[in-house]
Structures are given as C-alpha cells and as structure tokens.
Chain A
C-alpha cells in the first residue's frame, strides 16, 4: 500500500519560470491538502481539494498559484512566474473519508514533500 507520493522531490527554477508540483494521494483517498513550509517555520495550509473540486483555497496566494485535482491523475500545484520567496518545501497530504468507525478522526498522511529552490 503505497503512501502519498510527490514528485519531483527537488525542483530548481529560475525567477519567472513555472513550477509544477505533483501529488498522488494514498490509494482510496479522495481528499488532498497542500501545505507550504518555509525554512525554520511551521506548516502553512494552502488549499484543500476533493476530486475535481476546490473545497478551501483560503491559504493560497491570490496570484500566480493554482491547484487542481482532476478526476484522473495526480493533484497539481502550479506556481507561475516564480520568485525567490517561493522557495520552500511543499507538502501534500491526503485522507480518506471520515467514518463513524474511526470515531470521526480524519488523519492526514503526508508525502515526502517537494523542495523548491528559486534561483
């Protein structure tokens, strides 16, 4: 049972280029979350998606950032015209459906992250 997969693990871009980060959730999981972690800082929520729908994007910068989770394929976090301040670790997490049998707890499982460096 493969865990959450993210690729690439490391991504280097020059200012102005585009970055595409991919996340494949755990098998059977339809909920995906993206987080950003700056060096020496905590996780910051960016966006929550369920298949083909954006549920909550309150943590996403208004410009240059977008996310999708198509019916088929991985979730994509896209950053256009990257700037140095975008350099961070981007983590994806997935979860299954909350059910009464697990007491309503909806644990998130994290992928290994993509470390983006903008030169």
Chain B
C-alpha cells in the first residue's frame, strides 16, 4: 500500500505494551489541540482532543496530556494493538481558527 511518510520518527512497540507519542507545538495562543491517526492511503482520522484549560483528557484506551508551560502534547495508547499501527499527528487550532499539523510519528506494533 501507499506510505504516508518514509522518513518520519518511528516508535516501535510490542503488542499489549503502552505507547507514548510526543509532540511540541509552537503557538502559545493556540487553545485547542487534536491528535489524528493516519493509516496508509487514508486521510487523518480524529482520535482525541483537548482544550487549553485542561491538562489531561481520557478516551477509550487513549489519553492526551497537555503541558502548556513547555508547549508539549503527548498521546498515550494503552495496550497497543496491531490496528493502532499508523502515523500519528498532533494538530492545533491557532488564534485565526486555522488547523495546523505538527510532525508525524509512525507507530509500529509488533506481535
């Protein structure tokens, strides 16, 4: 299939382990952040979001942490499964309501 990206940072984890994907953002005025999952040949798919008035938000098997002091986001995936293999992007909505994507991370899950 198609490759979303060939030279992305890669995180390799064993099935069942927890995964942590990190992201730095640049605009201190951004107040809304989103994690997207992109599988090969598909568009980005929403995973979880967080507003700047929160520092943690949990979903099903996923948790997003926001550290505004150092402008850092992380995505934690519990009990990683083969279906989680994809490229993950953080994104922010800036003060002009523009959705801006960060650098992606490729997650590879080994059995």
Partners in one complex: no
